[in-house]
Structures are given as structure tokens and as C-alpha cells.
């Protein structure tokens, strides 16, 4: 299997180069050259397949023979060694819990898969590989946990100062060893811009082996497709595939929703996708108007979604025929994407009200990101009542403890692996938004 750039379909590389390079030189994003539906036999067997077997078959379909079968089975088994349960709120609304991994966030799936895949390819190389990652909240903790103490790999995590929760910050600043944290005096978009510029710096890349652990890296995206199939399998067990199934995805950089669209392209019978955002509503506005206008990100309660220029927008439009990403998507691309995806945006006041409503109505504690998803699904289902909706609950509510307890007026249970970080010492270097300062730090510390 080869992978091409969303800015140039003729630029093609193998899997190893795609995951280590992270970003093509033309500033596009890598996509698999073929996304062919899984065979009908797979869907016949789906109700009886384990999560690991689902992940193996899906990844084999997307990666071809780039990784030997035994190695790929091991990588997938180590990636999904924790569950992704579907919880029923009522007969129309379900929650897919993606926070049962080591960092209590859905990004554990991508980070664990990526770390093991990179280690597989890196064993034959000499010299360290340096992973650069920008985080708006959960990515940093998942990457830190996934890559911690991995031989031959150094990780540099950039996060916006004052814009992640205290426990999120502790997850990415307390491990040490090969994990380095930079506290950037700016927004997530500033962090992401520093990372992207480093990848396009040929002189820097001649001195460092650089790669990314953000969802711009194709190896982060592939395992995120697994749990869409796993959720559908559980819905089958709960009473069959009808009525039609819609997935509601709290969205920031839009990697999660892109993975869902890829799962649909692989044959998963998804009726519709709902993109749920906070005040950073660039994609919902595009879906409504056809005009894509990135904007500076706005801080919100659902901080992992505070993204004003979502990288994976290029992949979303590419799936529907936009093959030259530097150009404006054609109207027919917007029309086709709009048939598959609806977008909604909500402010913090509505989010807080939704957290309280879900608790009062269902006895379920939902985090602020999932609460935005709940609002979007509820609004969409007003016009589509004969559907089952699955909200992706992307992080454990205790990761946002002060806000959750303020909103609910009660204590929220904190899992032990998170509570033990409360007294751990934060170690992070301050960083400006100037690329020259970031480059100097890399040259002086790695």
C-alpha cells in the first residue's frame, strides 16, 4: 500500500516514510491510495469478532502487506487491550466510552498503535527519532503514555499555557525520561503551527529524524477506525442494525470524524455523521455555506476542541474528490460532504446545561466534550427520530474536575491512575510562539 499527499495525488510513499515523515514536503496530509470495502464475509462475522480481530482486519485492509501478519496482530492486540463499551442512555441515544485506556482519552488508541508501529520500523535504524506533537488537551497525555520509555524515540509535546486542565497538564509534564514538555505562550493553533513549520524546515530535518504524533500522522488515524466497527458490533448485539445508526463526534482537529468517514468507506453502514463543535465552529459554518474560513481558536470549556484551523479538513474533503488541497474545494465536494455530515456548534452555557441534563435525566456523568455531542445529536434527531445515535465520549469527566464539580455541584470520582498525578511535579520549559525560539530549543536540548 502506498500513501499520497492531499496536495498532490502523484506524490506517493510507502507506509514507513508516511509515518516517519508525518507531513509531506508540500504541506499536505498522507492518505492511503486505496480504501476498498471489506468483504461481505467480514460483516457476516462481525458480531462474533473480538475487538483485536476487528482491528487487525481493518488495519490490514488499509495497510496492505506493509507489516507482516504476526507483527500487525501483535501491534493491534497491544493497542486495544482495553474495552470501548457502548452505554445505552435510552432507546435512541447511546454513548461510546473511549476513555478506558491509560490516559483516559480516546487518543490512547492512536498513540499506542503509532508508538508500536514506529518501534517496529525504527528497530533497524540508528539514532533517535524525535516525535513532535501539539496538544489542545488529551493528545499530549496519550502520546506521553504511549511512547514513554520507548527505546530510540524522543517526544516533544507543545501545549498552550493555561488552556489545558490541571490533570491534563500533569499527564504530559510529569513522566520525564524521553518525554519533554514545552508550555507555549499562545493557543493550540500556535503550537500546531510550530510543529508544521519544523516539518517543512529541510535544514532542520537534515539534522533530526522528525515525525509527528498528531492526527496529521496517518498512523494515528488508522486505529481510530477500529472503534466505529466495535460500536456497531455492540449495537447489533443490543437489537439489530435497524433503525439506522448515526455517529455524533465531538470535533476539534477532526481526526476522529475523518476516521469515521474512512470506516464508512470501508463498508460500515453508517447512516449519518454529526460534527459537534464548541465556539470554534469553522467546519459547521463550511457545511452550511460552502466557504471554509479558518479563524483564531477561542478558549472554551471543552478545551480539546479549541481548534480554529483543523488539519484533517483536508482529509475530509479529499475523501469526496478534493485532490488538490491547496485549492478551494469545489461546490460538488461541499455538497457530497454535506450529505454525509451535519455540523452544530454550542457555547459554554449550553454545554454546562447539557452536563446537568444528562446527569438528571439518565444518571450518567458526561464530560464537556460529550455534552456538546449530546446537544448536537439531540438537535439532529429532532428531524431524524427513527435513528439510533452514538455519541463518542472522548475523555473521562474527571479530567475536567474543577469544572465538572462546579457544574454538577457534587464530587466526581477520579480513577486512581489520574488522582496519583495530583501531587506529581510538573516539569515544562516555557516557549514563545516564535519558530526561531522553538528551533533553538530543539538544537540545544536533543
Angle at 214 between CA 413 and CA 11, to 5 degrees: 155
Mean pLDDT calculated for residue range 182-193: 93
pLDDT given for residue 328 in this prediction: 87
210 or 257: whose pLDDT is higher? 257
pLDDT in tens, 197-208: 998 899 999 999
What cell numbers appear for 269 in the block? Answer: 453502514
58-62, 395-399, 421-425 — which is least confidently predicted?
421-425
Helix (H) or strand (E) holding 147: helix 138-147
Smallest Cα–Cα separation from 136: which of 407, 394, 316? 394
Examine residue 174 and state whether it is found in any structural domain, yes or no. no
Mean pLDDT calculated for residue range 187-202: 91
pLDDT given for residue 240 in this prediction: 61
pLDDT given for residue 378 in this prediction: 98
pLDDT at 392 over 70: yes
Distance CA 221, CA 262 (A): 9
326 or 144: whose pLDDT is higher? 144
**How large a percentage of the chain has pLDDT more than 70?**
99
pLDDT averaged over every residue in the chain: 93
pLDDT in tens, 329-346: 999 999 999 999 999 999
Instruction: Give the position of cell 454538577.
Output: 408
Q: Read off the CATH number of the domain in which 283 is found.
A: 3.40.50.1100
Q: In 341-428, which residue ranges form alpha helices assigned H by DSSP?
A: 348-362, 368-383, 401-408, 416-419
pLDDT given for residue 283 in this prediction: 97
pLDDT given for residue 60 in this prediction: 98
Number of domains in the chain: 1
Examine residue 256 and state whether it is found in any structural domain, yes or no. yes
pLDDT in tens, 234-270: 999 877 656 899 999 999 999 999 999 999 999 999 9
Examine residue 124 and state whether it is found in any structural domain, yes or no. no
Examine residue 381 and state whether it is found in any structural domain, yes or no. yes
pLDDT in tens, 267-318: 999 999 999 999 999 999 999 999 999 999 899 999 889 999 998 999 999 9
pLDDT at 372 over 70: yes
Examine residue 157 and state whether it is found in any structural domain, yes or no. no
Examine residue 38 and state whether it is found in any structural domain, yes or no. no
pLDDT given for residue 241 in this prediction: 58
Examine residue 366 and state whether it is found in any structural domain, yes or no. yes
Q: Taking a C-beta distance cutoff of 8 angstroms, is the pair 75, 120 a contact?
A: yes
Examine residue 445 and state whether it is found in any structural domain, yes or no. no
pLDDT in tens, 8-23: 999 999 999 999 888 8
pLDDT in tens, 114-159: 999 998 998 777 678 999 999 877 788 899 999 999 888 999 999 9
239 or 164: whose pLDDT is higher? 164
Domain that holds residue 396: 69-105+221-408
Amino acid at each position: 500500500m502506498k500513501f499520497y499527499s492531499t496536495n498532490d495525488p502523484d506524490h506517493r510513499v510507502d507506509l514507513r516514510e508516511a509515518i516517519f515523515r508525518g507531513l509531506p514536503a508540500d504541506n499536505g496530509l498522507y492518505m492511503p491510495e486505496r480504501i476498498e470495502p471489506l468483504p461481505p464475509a467480514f460483516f457476516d462475522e462481525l458480531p462474533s469478532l473480538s475487538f483485536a480481530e476487528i482491528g487487525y482486519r481493518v488495519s490490514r485492509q488499509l495497510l496492505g502487506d506493509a507489516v507482516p501478519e504476526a507483527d500487525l496482530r501483535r501491534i493491534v492486540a497491544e493497542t486495544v487491550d482495553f474495552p470501548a463499551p457502548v452505554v445505552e442512555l435510552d432507546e435512541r441515544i447511546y454513548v461510546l466510552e473511549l476513555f478506558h485506556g491509560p490516559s483516559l482519552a480516546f487518543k490512547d488508541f492512536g498513540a499506542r498503535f503509532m508508538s508500536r508501529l514506529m518501534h517496529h520500523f525504527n528497530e533497524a535504524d540508528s539514532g533517535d527519532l524525535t516525535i513532535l506533537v501539539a496538544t489542545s488537551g488529551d493528545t499530549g497525555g496519550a502520546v506521553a503514555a504511549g511512547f514513554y520509555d520507548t527505546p530510540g524515540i524522543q517526544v516533544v509535546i507543545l501545549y498552550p499555557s493555561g488552556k489545558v486542565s490541571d490533570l491534563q497538564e500533569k499527564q504530559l509534564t510529569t513522566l520525564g525520561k524521553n518525554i519533554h514538555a514545552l508550555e507555549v505562550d499562545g493557543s493550540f493553533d500556535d503550537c500546531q503551527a510550530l510543529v508544521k513549520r519544523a516539518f517543512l524546515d529541510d535544514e532542520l530535518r537534515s539534522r533530526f529524524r522528525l515525525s509527528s504524533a498528531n492526527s496529521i500522522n496517518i498512523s494515528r488515524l488508522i486505529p481510530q477506525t477500529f472503534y466505529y466497527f466495535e460500536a456497531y458490533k455492540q449495537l447489533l448485539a443490543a437489537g439489530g442494525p435497524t433503525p439506522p445508526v448515526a455517529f455524533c463526534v465531538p470535533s476539534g482537529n477532526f481526526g476522529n470524524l475523518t476516521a469515521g468517514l474512512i470506516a464508512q468507506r470501508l463498508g460500515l453502514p453508517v447512516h449519518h455523521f454529526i460534527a459537534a463543535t464548541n465556539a470554534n465552529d469553522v467546519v459547521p459554518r463550511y457545511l452550511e455555506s460552502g466557504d471554509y474560513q479558518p479563524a483564531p481558536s477561542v478558549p472554551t470549556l471543552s478545551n480539546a476542541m479549541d481548534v480554529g484551523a483543523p488539519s484533517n479538513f483536508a482529509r475530509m474533503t479529499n475523501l469526496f474528490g478534493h485532490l488538490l488541497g491547496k485549492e478551494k474545494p469545489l461546490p460538488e465536494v461541499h455538497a457530497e460532504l454535506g450529505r454525509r455530515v451535519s455540523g452544530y456548534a454550542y457555547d459554554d452555557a449550553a454545554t454546562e446545561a447539557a452536563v446537568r441534563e444528562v446527569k438528571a435525566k439518565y444518571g450518567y456523568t458526561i464530560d464537556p466534550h460529550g455534552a456538546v455531542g449530546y446537544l448536537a445529536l439531540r438537535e439532529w434527531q429532532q428531524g431524524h427520530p427513527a435513528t439510533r445515535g452514538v455519541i463518542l465520549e472522548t475523555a473521562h469527566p474527571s479530567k475536567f474536575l474543577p469544572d465538572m464539580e462546579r457544574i454538577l455541584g457534587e464530587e466526581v470520582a477520579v480513577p486512581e491512575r489520574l488522582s496519583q498525578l495530583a501531587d506529581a511535579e510538573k516539569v515544562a520549559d516555557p516557549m514563545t510562539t516564535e519558530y526561531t525560539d522553538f528551533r533553538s530549543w530543539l538544537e540545544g536540548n536533543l
